[in-house]
């Protein structure tokens, strides 16, 4: 079966500090990978998605970046965090082996920027 | 106008009630329709998935898609306090790499 991991689970960072969030998927190959942000009480905002190693599509211009160094690893980064970067960050994957568009989410990372 | 509209609630119902959650959409090209359940401080989990129009039932949950009205629904029968969560609808165009989500409806089922 497939599982998706995210770490850390929670993070408190000062404004201006760097960020690195990691997501890994097990039990599948060549998945589509996604980073979302969910602000308190709000819906999901797609930040980046990737259809393969080194292939990143950005949905929202901001001070965040994403990388996919391995097939099942997706990293979200920032060089300098802003207060507005606080939120709940979710990684998701989608399989090409299944004939659906369903995405499966990880447990999330709660980021607080102070 | 947003592509997907969903009433954020909150919706409060007594235990045992039938709950109806709804989304409307504007893009007639949507073909895949999903419902996710998200507990507080957790990632969304897939509840129901439907392709094109029609109904799908899974236990106490029924998903309906009416493409002519651009309207989807999730019904929960015999609601339980454990159903208290935020319910997100999502939809996509076939072959498109992205899902379009509603804002989510917060549901509270009280004993």
Coil, strand or helix at A84: helix
**Shortest CA gap B107–chain A (Å):** 13
Which of B45, B51, B101 is opposite residue A44, by nearest beta carbon? Answer: B101
Pairing of strands B19-25, A87-94: unpaired
What backbone torsions phi and psi does residue A83 show, to the nearest 5 degrees? -55, -35
Calpha distance A19→A78 (Å, rounded): 5
The pLDDT, as a whole number, for residue A85 is: 94
Longest dimension (CA), chain A: 43
CB distance from A22 to chain B under 8 Å? no
Who's near B28: CB < 8 A, 6+ residues apart? B67, B70
**Can you say whether the dihedral through the CA atoms of B106, B47, B31, A31 is positive or negative?**
positive
Say whether pLDDT at A99 is over 70: no
The separation between CA B70 and the C-alpha centre of its own chain, rounded to angstroms, equals: 14
CB distance from A73 to chain B under 8 Å? no
Task: Please list every residue in chain B whose beta carbon sits closer than 8 Å to the beta carbon of residue A51.
Answer: 97
Average pLDDT over residues B68-85: 97
Calpha distance B37→B21 (Å, rounded): 12
Per-residue pLDDT band for B87 (boundaries 50, 70, 90) equals very high
Q: B2-41 as b/e, with b when 16 or more CB fall inside 10 Å? A: eebebeeeebebeeebebebbbbbeeeebbbbbbbbbeee
Say whether pLDDT at B94 is over 90: no
Which of B8, B49, B98 is opposite residue A102, by nearest beta carbon? Answer: B49
**Residue range A53-95, pLDDT digits in tens:** 989 999 886 799 999 999 999 999 999 999 999 999 999 999 8
Coil, strand or helix at A47: strand
**Residue range B39-59, pLDDT digits in tens:** 999 999 999 999 888 899 999
**End-to-end CA gap in chain A:** 38
């Amino acid at each position: 079966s497939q599982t998706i991991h995210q770490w850390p689970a929670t993070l408190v960072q000062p404004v201006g500090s760097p960020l690195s969030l990691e997501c890994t998927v097990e039990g599948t190959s060549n998945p589509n990978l996604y980073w979302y942000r969910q602000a308190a009480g709000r819906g999901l905002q797609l930040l980046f998605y990737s259809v393969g190693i080194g292939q990143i599509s950005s949905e929202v211009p901001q001070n965040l970046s994403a990388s996919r160094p391995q097939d099942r690893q997706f990293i979200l980064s920032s060089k300098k965090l802003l207060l507005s970067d606080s939120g709940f960050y979710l990684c998701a994957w989608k399989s090409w082996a299944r004939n659906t568009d369903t995405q499966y989410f990880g447990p999330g990372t709660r980021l607080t920027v102070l | 106008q947003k592509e997907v509209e969903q009433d954020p609630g909150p919706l409060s119902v007594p235990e045992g009630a039938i709950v109806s959650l709804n989304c409307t959409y504007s893009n007639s090209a949507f073909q895949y329709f999903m419902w996710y359940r998200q507990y507080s401080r957790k990632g969304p989990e897939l509840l129901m998935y439907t392709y094109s129009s029609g109904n799908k039932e899974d236990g106490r949950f029924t998903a309906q898609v009416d493409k002519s009205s651009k309207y989807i629904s999730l019904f929960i029968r015999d609601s339980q306090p454990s159903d208290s969560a935020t319910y997100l609808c999502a939809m996509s165009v076939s072959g498109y790499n992205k899902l379009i989500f509603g804002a989510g409806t917060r549901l509270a089922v009280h004993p």
